């Protein structure tokens, strides 16, 4: 039998009976997830037994190493890698009783000083702080806390530089730990009004990267009303309303002016209505001299005589109470006297005529006494 054939036979036999030759398979697909300072190691194992154990050795670059065993196919090693500024080498070995496999190694670090793309397969990262956004006109305002206030790691007590990418345009910003909030403004085109846009935020602090995405919906913009135009519009509307009110009042006044006046006989009935005409003057009672007997018959009336201007003036300008006025007795002889005081002078022809019987069958015209002048 040739030497080559013996070697092949030994390999096949070792695979079929690994316990005989002390052969234990190594873990596969080893990986580490280091995010937000939580570090978890994962691996796969094809042929586990009841006695299979896994030994994990964590070797920091600047600190002593630590070893821990587990029967599971993952392990949280955060408590063994607390120094975020250090570099860590992790060795994983499978044990089956007294036998053990060859170890499998993996490296990880949060520090930019130790990171090497050729050595470090996985890059640890941090969550970007929670982002608040608001839209004002054509600007998206962005604000968030500094990572140091969120994670309380001394390594982060430094300047935080970050970029915001929108519409294929990247803008760089920065803020410090003593600021209450990190603020940024992102300008956008008015064409995106009424749509949602995506912002990508990436930051690095102490060499530790972080990133996040934020969707912002931009409302439909409405043009702002100029205050001068608004004031002018209000004045114009107020003027129109004033003219309409004045026209309405004018029409109402015209309508009320056409209403007939209240009749005179109703004014005495309706309270508060006084007649517009002057009360009729009290008629003057007739004055009859005491002790005087007229010579005329009862059919004679002064009303048949024309009133002289003096009599008319007296009637118009004299208003007396219902009182009888006593006049002194005047005899016929005194009345015939032309110079009698208190009466106007008149001729005998102004006296009334009458027929007087001088003797039986003999009649002649005579004049009666003059009428008194009132």
- Using CA atoms, how far residue 144 sits from 125, 285, 369, in Å, is 18, 114, 134
DSSP reduced 3-state for 15: helix
Instruction: Provide the pLDDT for residue 359.
Output: 73
Could you report the per-residue pLDDT of 7-20, keeping only the tens digit for each? 354 444 445 544 44
The mean-pLDDT minimum among 75-89, 108-122, 138-152, 261-275 falls in: 261-275
Could you report the per-residue pLDDT of 69-120, keeping only the tens digit for each? 999 999 999 999 988 888 999 999 999 988 999 999 999 988 877 778 778 8
Task: Tell me which architecture the domain covering 28-123 has in CATH.
Answer: Sandwich (2.60)
Q: Where are the domains of the chain?
A: 28-123, 131-218
- pLDDT band of 338, cuts 50, 70, 90: very low
Instruction: Provide the pLDDT for residue 78.
Output: 94
Q: Which residues are registered as beta bridge partners of 202?
A: 163, 211
Is-above-0.95 flag for pTM? no
More reliable by pLDDT, 369 or 311: 369
| Intra-chain end-to-end CA distance of the chain, in Å | 191
Could you report the per-residue pLDDT of 274-288, keeping only the tens digit for each? 544 455 555 544 444
Instruction: Provide the pLDDT for residue 89.
Output: 93
Could you report the per-residue pLDDT of 1-52, keeping only the tens digit for each? 444 444 354 444 445 544 444 578 999 999 999 999 999 999 999 888 888 9
- The fold of 131-218 is Immunoglobulin-like (2.60.40)
Instruction: Provide the pLDDT for residue 271.
Output: 57
Question: The sheet that has 132-136: what strands, in order across it?
Answer: 132-136, 139-144, 182-187
Residue 339 has pLDDT above 90, yes or no: no
Residue range 239-246: mean pLDDT, rounded: 89
Residue 265 has pLDDT above 60, yes or no: no
SS3 track for 80-143: HCCCCCCEEEEEEEEEECCEECCCEEEEEECCCCCCCCCCCCCCCEEECCCCEEEEECCEEEEE
Which distant-in-sequence residues (6+ apart) come within 8 Å of 56 by Cβ?
41, 67, 68, 69, 70, 75, 77, 90, 91, 92
Could you report the per-residue pLDDT of 194-210, keeping only the tens digit for each? 888 899 999 988 888 89
The yes-or-no answer to whether 28-123 and 131-218 have a common fold is: yes
Residue 246 has pLDDT above 80, yes or no: yes
């Amino acid at each position: 039998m040739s030497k080559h054939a013996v070697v092949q036979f030994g390999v096949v036999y070792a695979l079929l009976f690994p316990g005989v030759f002390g052969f234990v398979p190594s873990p596969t697909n080893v990986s580490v997830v280091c995010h937000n300072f939580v570090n978890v190691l994962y691996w796969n194992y094809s042929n586990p037994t009841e006695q299979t154990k896994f030994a994990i050795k964590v070797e920091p670059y600047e600190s002593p190493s630590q070893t821990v065993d587990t029967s599971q196919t993952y392990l949280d090693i955060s408590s063994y890698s607390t120094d975020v500024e250090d570099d860590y080498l992790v060795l994983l070995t499978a044990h089956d009783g007294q036998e053990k496999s060859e170890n499998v190694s993996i490296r990880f670090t949060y520090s930019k000083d130790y990171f090497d793309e050729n050595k470090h397969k996985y890059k640890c990262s941090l969550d970007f702080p929670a982002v608040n956004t608001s839209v004002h006109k054509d600007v998206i305002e962005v604000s968030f806390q500094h990572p140091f206030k969120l994670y309380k790691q001394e390594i982060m007590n430094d300047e935080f530089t970050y970029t915001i990418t929108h519409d294929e345009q990247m803008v760089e910003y920065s803020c410090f730990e003593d600021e209450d909030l990190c603020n940024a403004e992102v300008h956008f085109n008015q064409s995106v009004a009424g749509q949602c846009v995506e912002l990508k935020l990436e930051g690095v602090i102490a060499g530790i990267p972080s990133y996040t995405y934020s969707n912002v919906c931009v409302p439909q913009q409405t043009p702002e009303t100029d205050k001068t135009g608004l004031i002018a519009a209000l004045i114009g509307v107020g003027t129109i309303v004033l003219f309409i009110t004045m026209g309405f009042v004018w029409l109402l006044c015209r309508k009320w002016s056409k209403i007939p006046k209240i009749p005179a006989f109703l004014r005495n009935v309706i309270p508060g209505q006084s007649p517009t005409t002057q009360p009729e003057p009290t008629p003057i009672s007739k004055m009859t001299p005491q002790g005087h007997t007229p010579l005329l018959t009862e059919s004679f009336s002064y009303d048949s005589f024309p009133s002289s201007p003096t009599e008319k003036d007296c009637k118009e300008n004299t208003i007396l109470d219902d009182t009888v006025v006593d006049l002194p007795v005047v005899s016929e002889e005194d009345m015939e006297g032309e110079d009698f005081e208190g009466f106007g002078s008149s001729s005998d022809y102004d006296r009334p005529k009458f027929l007087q019987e001088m003797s039986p069958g003999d009649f002649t015209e005579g004049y009666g006494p003059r009428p008194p002048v009132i």
